[in-house]
Structure 1
Amino acid sequence: MGYTRLDENMQQLPQEQGLHQMKSYSDSRANFESIPPGYGDNFQQYTGYDPINTQSYEAPTGPPPGSPEKGRPRGGQQYQGQLPSAKIWAMNKLRSFILAFDIVFHSSPLMFIALALIAARIDGKEVSQYGEHLQQVLLLSPTIFPVIFAALMGRCFKYLGLFLAERGTTLGRLEQLVGSTSLFSALERQISLRGFSVVGYILMILWLLSPLGGQSALRLMGEETNSVLSNGTVQYLNPDTVMETAMGAASDINSARSVFAPIFLASLLSSSKYKDTSMDLWGNVKLPRFSTIENSTSDEWKTVQESNSTNITYASLIGIPVAQLDTIGASNFSVKARQWDVVCDKNEMQGGKQANFGTMDTSTWKVAYTPVNSTCKSWPCSISFKSMANNDAEDEDYFNYTVASCKLSYDMYETKVGCKGRSCTPTAMRKLDLHTGVNYTQDSDAFFRSTPSLNIMSTLPRVDNLGVGSVAFRGSTNAEKWMADPTNFVGLKTYVQLYELSPDVLSNRLTILWNSFFQSTYAMNTLGGNLDQTFNNITQSADSQLFNGTASAVSTPMPSVWRTNWKWFTALLVSSIILQIAAYMALFFKYYTCVPDIIGYASSMTLLNPYVPTPTGGTTLHGLERAHMLQDMRVMIGDVCANEPIGAVAFAKADEGRVARLNRKRFYV
């Protein structure tokens, strides 16, 4: 084909010399039905060339220039004389640099393959700074992978299209490959071409690998904490040690008062912090009040809701001593213990004569069996609770008192305990037969109803004012103030009105007070939290062993390790390998194909275009090279037959008179 250029004075030529008559005109479009008669017969196939006003260029003499850019004009200038020629893909410094860059860039998927293999290699190894750095790199993958994927996969389809175009292919196949730059564009080509081909489906599947690869890198690895399960033994206070309580005899009370009184008052004064916790201030395990969870389920084991621990009512401010706990692992075991329970059904204010409080010289509150001076034959036992509410009246017979009628019981319970290190929480509880154990017999139970319970009734109300004269005029005791308000009870002389409490609230607080005091009266040397965890020198009682051993399931944590998610590893590896194959295929097709890369560039529309008065040579140029040469030229898509009844749409240089803007009301061929 000869090179041509348009005459500079083409605008002044008659239009009959610039157009051929069309041999046929399609009448299948409805828009052309209104064309005036005669025009359809006078137009011939439009070729875009003017055979009359064109000139042929001869090849230049001498050797071809060494560089394709040498001597080429810019900005739409015309050659005066002969046009240069060049070889296809003549290598120069610029193209050598581009080749080196392409090799490096098209090898970038190897980075993701390496990351996947490194993650697989550290699977099961301890968490280290090396793995943390790898994890930080993987966090960037969801951003980097889709960008690199789009660039390389799009290049592969583009250069594959050029490769097929060099050897001959269908326009539809070429459009599918070159236009497939994303999942949406691949789907768009399938719909627009109205032909759902296998190639189109493959293209869409390949584009789905982009988000899959990015997300798989994000989920590739994580930390895992393992543990080793083993069986152990935990030592807890033997429930039969209650037989050694100081409440068993008056002499024992007098000799042990200096020990149990400070323990009890210390637990009372610290209750604002430890009342709702599962362990006391010495690290002993506290047990729930069974009556508060008894109706939680119909099963034998009543579940303690750990997630709602603030609503758990613990039976005592002093817990059960436990030894030989694993310091770092988790352990589960069960303990057996006895506890008191007080349930009141009536609480009211009464005057002095009606209350029948008795002498006020020794205490401001009293607990006694009812009727007075009676004994309890079996649990529960009926008791009365009385407390001074004021002493403002001139006659003591008109003092006001809190009077409540209650039931006192004593039972045996087994509690499941779960610990993390030495921090323990009760998880479930059940009721056992009271006589469970070795030393607590029927006679022991009868002894408890007659002696320890009575001694508690007489000792507890006077634990902090023993020997004080005129106690009735010194205000309520700390125990009474605590029952009135456990969060704010330490203060000056005052009287509390316990009759304002509901029977349920009074029952809870009196139960806690009773159990706390009783637990301070036996095995006192074990309550301070200084147990020998090797359990070699715990002081032993003459009548019973102080501690029982119970089986414990111990879960010892191991150092955290890295774990590779093998499903996401496979997804990342497959996506990266396919991307790497596509990248090297693109590299091969780009440099093996002879045809210049002119598909998809705006500058390619100027190639051999008679409406763009530029050199028609340079057919070996790639699209970007041609764009560089013509970047200053103004172009326009418009009507190149503006003065004809039927217009023609073409890409042309934006010169006045050469091309006009399109009109919606006008017909075009």
Structure 2
Amino acid sequence: MATKHEAEGLVTPSTRAEAVTSSQDDNQSPRTLKDSAPSLFWRVGMPALLLTIPLAYVGKSDASDEMGTTKAWVVLMAMTVYLDGRERSDFGDDVREVLQIASTLWPISFAAVLGPTLKTLALYSAERGSRLGLLEFLLSSQTTFATLKNLVVRQHLSIWTIGIGVIWCLSPLGGQAAVRSLHPRPNSTTHYIRAMHYLRSNISDIVRFYQGNQPGDDEGALWGGSGQSMLISGMRSIVVASFSSPDILVSHGNGSSVDFTEVAYSFGGADGVGRLGRRDLWQNVRVPYLQLLPGYKAEKPHDWVPVPEWAVPWVSLVGIPIRGGSTIGAGNSTMVIQSHYQTLSCGAEFNGTDWVTEGSEKLSFHDTRKGADPLHLQEGQDNPNGAKPNIFIDIVNSSRAITEHNTQWQGLGRMQEPTSKLELIVGGVCSNGLGESAYMLRTCKISTSYAEVGVVCTRLGESDSLQCHADRVRHTPGRPISGNLTAISSNLLLGRLIYEFPFITASYHLGQSSAIERYLWDPPTSFGFRGSGPTINPGCFPNVSTEEYQARLSTALNTVIMSTYNATVLKGAEGASLDGRNFMWHNTTAEWSRFTDDVYVLSRAWFAMAMLSTVVLLGCAVANVAIRCFIKAPDFLNSVTGMTRDSPYIQVQPLGGSGVSSCDRMLDVKDVRVRICDVRPESEVGKIALTTNVDSPKLDWRRTYS
């Protein structure tokens, strides 16, 4: 780095003759500095006009106003504070529109104020003595990028230069802060209201319903007698409709079905399938299969598990009816309901021909003493069902288990938990294609899971219906994780479910698979034979893993059990009143948030940034005016005319002498032609300079210049 004296030596002095000529030129028309300087208006008044930029944005015509009045926002930040917490209005939207325009103009306005301020500061520093590096930094830092480049490339690092860099950073931040400081937000009022759901997880309620012996209770569709004759058609219609809903094609099929991706794509992907399956056909809320959710941890059964957005395994195709939980208008509600469902733990498939041969006592309900009659015809020989299912179900004949589950009990006095589990038998005839066939069976232990379900409901508009879905689920605290008392512990339900389950979706054509059988084989085949459906042995499932089979069978079994509920309730036809309902309905509390008019919200962080930027901008404008009042030197640092002062190679004679500012000097010399060329063409070593001698030779790459 050159010392002060070395730096002074870098300035080439003019010759004596040139200096005399320059002195004579300066004395041609000597004037006082005051006479040569621009007027006070041009020196101070014009910079003062920049004060209007940070002070106000004025004038916006409202075309919708019938009087054609003009609205003005003198201080936008004050209007922003005023609108905080107020309802959305045309006036507020106009203010936000102006803020958006202001954010676009902010970088331009910021540069229009800060740039001249830095030039004024450079002139003030030069008049009082300054380093060339600082003057260069002040004069060239006219944009944010130029300032940052000067800091990095030219390494003008000091407290002042870093401070100027920080101020320039307020240029982009200030514009964003203005537009982000105020935004509308949906407003809502929250209060707690009554809601009801159908058949919760109290064991006493479960026993009471499935036993069906209390006056005034809802009748189950499989209770027998004249009630069953009247209600069985409603139950069957619900089951058939449930196994005909589109989402069944991907139920328990994710990752286990060849056609899952293709079918899911037709529904909008996994997310679309997830949304489609949240509710049943009658808008009842489906319960997620807790044990199959990705976030479930067996060691933490009472932790809430979120229900994912994509395809979810559901415990039943029939959902839980919910009533209430909202008032008139758009809004959201949340509540917690209780539910229960049956789970199965199945073993491997085995040859169980000896279980169904004449004389076997391993089945509880199918009478093998009736010889060679097909199993599905052995119940009700006087009035056989014309349908021809390919599977059958039964209960393992265990006197201990049947006694413990008290399938013949009456009344509510005995509700103790059995110590053993009922075992379900599922099977059908399988052929090897060589004329040989066998009964292939599976045994499945039946358990009951008690679940609490977090439900979220939304109504988008006053005329829209309330849309509810399960948002989270967990095991009910205080209930068995895998209870032995089940819905089919009741002989009233079990004795008829054994025969109804295979028949309800069966075909009347021998060997044709039913909807339930196709669902157990592969859900995408539920509506027909897609891919490799059960075309030969519709009652056999050799290619279905035990995990997939027991999950699908659980859903099918729960669907049939829940379809025995009051069909009028399941279809939502019992009315909306919450009063006068029987024990099947249970109260819960819903947190209802009703949407009201949007309100404006002030972002305090962005508002503080906008205010800081405005104050800094105003301070720069004031500083520009104040510093201008103390400057006496002519301003020739911000113009090319400064290069023509005192140069022996610029032959101009402007009026006013050296006290003339660059703007006034430019008026005199604007038509003078100049050129960068070799001003010493006759010397062996040339010299490059800006000169008015435009006839001098051009620069040459091979010539040496001093």
445-454 or 114-123, larger mean C-alpha shift: 445-454
Q: 1:532 Cα deviation (Å)?
A: 3.2
Deviation sequence 1:87-116 (CA, Å, 0-9, x none): 536779xx98x9997665541222478332
Q: 1:149 Cα deviation (Å)?
A: 1.8
Separation in structure 2 between the aligned mates of residue 666 and residue 337 of structure 1, nearest angstrom: 96
- Within a 5 Å distance, the mapping from 1:254-293 to structure 2 comes to 254-270=229-245, 272=247, 275=251, 277-293=277-293
Of 391, 396, 401, the residue aligned with 1:370 is 396
- Within a 5 Å distance, the mapping from 1:53-202 to structure 2 comes to 87-88=35-36, 104-111=49-56, 114-139=75-100, 141=102, 143-162=104-123, 168-170=128-130, 177-178=138-139, 180-182=141-143, 199-200=160-161, 202=163
Of 321, 329, 332, the residue aligned with 1:330 is 332
Q: 1:504 Cα deviation (Å)?
A: 2.1
For 1:306, the equivalent position in structure 2 comes to: 307
Of 495, 501, 512, the residue aligned with 1:454 is 495
Alignment TM-score, normalising by the size of structure 1? 0.72
Q: Does 1:49 align with 2:18?
A: yes
8 Å contact 2:144–2:171 — kept in the other structure? Answer: no
Q: Which runs of 5+ in 2 are unaligned?
A: 58-73, 213-219, 252-273, 359-367, 378-384, 406-419, 460-465
Separation in structure 2 between the aligned mates of residue 223 and residue 415 of structure 1, nearest angstrom: 33
Separation in structure 1 between the aligned mates of residue 25 and residue 222 of structure 2, nearest angstrom: 128
SS at 1:359 equivalent: coil
Change (3 A) 1:610 1:473: closer
Change (3 A) 1:309 1:202: closer
Separation in structure 2 between the aligned mates of residue 474 and residue 301 of structure 1, nearest angstrom: 46
For 2:266, the equivalent position in structure 1 comes to: none
SS at 2:313 equivalent: coil
Change (3 A) 1:660 1:484: closer
Separation in structure 1 between the aligned mates of residue 21 and residue 243 of structure 2, nearest angstrom: 117
SS at 1:346 equivalent: coil
Change (3 A) 1:526 1:57: closer
Separation in structure 1 between the aligned mates of residue 301 and residue 116 of structure 2, nearest angstrom: 71
Number of corresponding residues? 587
Change (3 A) 1:132 1:432: same
Of 494, 498, 518, the residue aligned with 1:481 is 518
Q: Does 1:405 align with 2:446?
A: no
2:52 partner letter? S
For 1:630, the equivalent position in structure 2 comes to: 669
SS at 2:457 equivalent: strand
Separation in structure 2 between the aligned mates of residue 496 and residue 459 of structure 1, nearest angstrom: 18
Separation in structure 2 between the aligned mates of residue 256 and residue 190 of structure 1, nearest angstrom: 86
Separation in structure 1 between the aligned mates of residue 84 and residue 5 of structure 2, nearest angstrom: 71
Separation in structure 2 between the aligned mates of residue 192 and residue 353 of structure 1, nearest angstrom: 90
Higher Rg of the two aligned structures: 1
Change (3 A) 1:582 1:27: closer
8 Å contact 1:411–1:432 — kept in the other structure? Answer: no
Separation in structure 2 between the aligned mates of residue 602 and residue 301 of structure 1, nearest angstrom: 80
Q: 1:257 Cα deviation (Å)?
A: 1.5
Deviation sequence 1:456-489 (CA, Å, 0-9, x none): 0022222356xx9xx5726233332332233333
Separation in structure 1 between the aligned mates of residue 351 and residue 292 of structure 2, nearest angstrom: 26
Change (3 A) 1:347 1:206: same
2:457 partner letter? C
Q: 1:282 Cα deviation (Å)?
A: 0.8
Separation in structure 2 between the aligned mates of residue 193 and residue 481 of structure 1, nearest angstrom: 77
Separation in structure 2 between the aligned mates of residue 194 and residue 535 of structure 1, nearest angstrom: 77
Separation in structure 2 between the aligned mates of residue 282 and residue 418 of structure 1, nearest angstrom: 17
Q: Does 1:607 align with 2:677?
A: no
For 1:12, the equivalent position in structure 2 comes to: none
Separation in structure 2 between the aligned mates of residue 434 and residue 194 of structure 1, nearest angstrom: 72
Deviation sequence 1:292-347 (CA, Å, 0-9, x none): 3596242232544322541x321111111111122644333332333223332122
Report % sequence identity.
20
Separation in structure 1 between the aligned mates of residue 191 and residue 445 of structure 2, nearest angstrom: 44
Separation in structure 2 between the aligned mates of residue 58 and residue 28 of structure 1, nearest angstrom: 31
Deviation sequence 1:221-241 (CA, Å, 0-9, x none): 333344444333221113423
SS at 1:127 equivalent: coil
SS at 1:315 equivalent: coil
Separation in structure 2 between the aligned mates of residue 178 and residue 154 of structure 1, nearest angstrom: 8
Q: 1:650 Cα deviation (Å)?
A: 5.0
For 1:22, the equivalent position in structure 2 comes to: none
SS at 2:426 equivalent: strand
For 1:523, the equivalent position in structure 2 comes to: 566
Q: Does 1:654 align with 2:660?
A: no
Separation in structure 1 between the aligned mates of residue 504 and residue 23 of structure 2, nearest angstrom: 125
Change (3 A) 1:337 1:163: closer
192-201 or 228-237, larger mean C-alpha shift: 192-201
Separation in structure 2 between the aligned mates of residue 433 and residue 45 of structure 1, nearest angstrom: 103
1:367 partner letter? I
1:535 partner letter? L
2:540 partner letter? L
8 Å contact 2:47–2:624 — kept in the other structure? Answer: no
1:344 partner letter? C
SS at 2:308 equivalent: helix
Separation in structure 1 between the aligned mates of residue 56 and residue 344 of structure 2, nearest angstrom: 72
For 2:342, the equivalent position in structure 1 comes to: 340
Separation in structure 1 between the aligned mates of residue 487 and residue 630 of structure 2, nearest angstrom: 105
8 Å contact 2:333–2:590 — kept in the other structure? Answer: yes
Separation in structure 2 between the aligned mates of residue 189 and residue 238 of structure 1, nearest angstrom: 75
1:424 partner letter? H
Q: Does 1:562 align with 2:600?
A: yes
SS at 2:236 equivalent: helix
For 1:72, the equivalent position in structure 2 comes to: none
Separation in structure 1 between the aligned mates of residue 431 and residue 155 of structure 2, nearest angstrom: 98
For 1:18, the equivalent position in structure 2 comes to: none
Separation in structure 1 between the aligned mates of residue 679 and residue 113 of structure 2, nearest angstrom: 39
Change (3 A) 1:212 1:338: closer
SS at 2:474 equivalent: strand
8 Å contact 1:231–1:553 — kept in the other structure? Answer: yes
8 Å contact 1:159–1:589 — kept in the other structure? Answer: yes
Change (3 A) 1:50 1:372: closer
Deviation sequence 1:340-380 (CA, Å, 0-9, x none): 23332122577799877853345422111223999623452
2:603 partner letter? N
8 Å contact 1:367–1:383 — kept in the other structure? Answer: yes
2:473 partner letter? A
Deviation sequence 1:478-501 (CA, Å, 0-9, x none): 332332233333459966253232
SS at 2:76 equivalent: helix
Q: 1:430 Cα deviation (Å)?
A: 0.8
Q: Does 1:496 align with 2:538?
A: yes
Deviation sequence 1:431-470 (CA, Å, 0-9, x none): 567799xxx9x9x9799343311210022222356xx9xx
Alignment TM-score, normalising by the size of structure 2? 0.69
Deviation sequence 1:490-523 (CA, Å, 0-9, x none): 4599662532322222212222222111212232
2:193 partner letter? G
Deviation sequence 1:130-185 (CA, Å, 0-9, x none): 4445445444555532332223222123234445666x545657666545535676
Q: Does 1:220 align with 2:165?
A: no
Deviation sequence 1:594-625 (CA, Å, 0-9, x none): 65432232223323544323224343654244
Separation in structure 2 between the aligned mates of residue 201 and residue 562 of structure 1, nearest angstrom: 37
Separation in structure 1 between the aligned mates of residue 288 and residue 141 of structure 2, nearest angstrom: 69
